[in-house]
């Protein structure tokens, strides 16, 4: 169960990072397309570090608001856990951008997740720990459902485009 919750936390944090980068690119693409003086066939630049950081903070803030209500965190716990998750997200970005092998990256992710899990649990009382586990399971099942839905939509679109070509 401990490993499961650590992996779940890692999945959530890596999803935050990926979504931040994706949202940054989408925002940048929309801004470029909305400009009247757009140069044809120009490629948009990557989102700035400030944009990535802003998107990361927004997603983590949303996650923390849900967690605060479901786990019944007080203000001090909220701030401490939020800061830990922000720091973990940044560390995971660094690992993701490193030139290590995938195996080494996975080991580093696991170590970061375990440390984060221990730190978060150190801020919680026994009742909150149980609520936190349930919260992680609930959020993991939602992300699994979204992934399954996306996969079905992709398969459906492939089938439709395949029948139109015939």
Is residue 91 included in any domain, yes or no?
Answer: yes
Q: What is the pLDDT of residues 9-56, one digit of tens each?
A: 666 766 666 665 666 555 555 555 555 445 555 566 777 878 888 888
102 is in which domain, residue-wise?
Answer: 2-33+44-132
Q: What is the pLDDT of residues 107-161, one digit of tens each?
A: 999 999 999 999 999 999 999 999 999 988 888 776 555 555 666 666 666 666 6
Is residue 116 included in any domain, yes or no?
Answer: yes
Give the count of alpha carbons within 13 A of 59, CB side only. 22
Is residue 51 included in any domain, yes or no?
Answer: yes
The domain tally of the chain equals 1
DSSP string, 36-72: TTPPTTPPPPPPPHHHHHHHHHHHHHHHHHHHHHHHT
Is residue 96 included in any domain, yes or no?
Answer: yes
Q: What is the pLDDT of residues 42-101, one digit of tens each?
A: 566 777 878 888 888 899 899 999 999 999 999 999 999 999 999 999 898 888 888 888
Say how far apart CA 18 and CA 141 lie, in whole Å: 19
Is residue 87 included in any domain, yes or no?
Answer: yes
Is residue 147 included in any domain, yes or no?
Answer: no
Is residue 14 included in any domain, yes or no?
Answer: yes
Is residue 66 included in any domain, yes or no?
Answer: yes
């Amino acid at each position: 169960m401990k490993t499961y919750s650590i992996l779940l936390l890692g999945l959530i944090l890596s999803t935050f990072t990926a979504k931040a980068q994706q949202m940054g690119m989408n925002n940048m693409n929309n801004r470029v397309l909305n400009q009247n003086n757009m140069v044809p066939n120009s490629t948009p630049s990557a989102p700035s570090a400030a944009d990535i950081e802003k998107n990361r903070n927004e997603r983590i803030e949303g996650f923390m608001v849900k967690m605060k209500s479901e786990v019944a965190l007080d203000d001090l716990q909220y701030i401490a856990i939020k800061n830990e998750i922000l720091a973990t997200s940044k560390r995971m970005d660094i690992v993701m951008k490193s030139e290590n092998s995938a195996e080494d990256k996975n080991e580093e992710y696991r170590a970061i997740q375990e440390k984060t899990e221990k730190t978060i649990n150190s801020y919680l009382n026994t009742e909150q720990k149980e609520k936190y586990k349930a919260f992680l399971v609930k959020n993991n099942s939602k992300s699994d459902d979204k992934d399954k839905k996306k996969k079905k939509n992709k398969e459906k679109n492939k089938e439709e485009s395949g029948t139109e070509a015939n």
